[in-house]
Amino acid sequence: MAQERTIKSPLPGVFYRRPNPESYVKEGDRIEAGTTIGLVGVMKSFHEIKAESGGVVLRFLVENEEPIRVGQDLLVLGD
């Protein structure tokens, strides 16, 4: 049975899925631990959000430029 897990936001702010027209990661991508999945913007300062484990990006739970809170699930990873 496939195991699903989420990547959570470490801080509040605005979530950015892409720094330019290209996204950091897309649904269906296989990523490794340490892969940057997006940025959180807090008061004109940007912080990378990195995956703690590898897997396949199944789906994003927030949209680009959506306000987020600490601990909010951002995306779902599968095996």
Model pLDDT, residue 62: 96
Domains of the chain with bracketed CATH: 5-78 (2.40.50.100)
pLDDT digits (tens, 9 = 90+) for 22-44: 889 999 999 999 999 999 999 88
Tell me the average pLDDT across 2-13. 92
Rounded to two decimals, the pTM is 0.88
pLDDT band per the 50, 70, 90 thresholds, residue 18: confident
C-alpha closest to that of 72 among 25, 10, 5: 10
Average pLDDT, the chain: 93
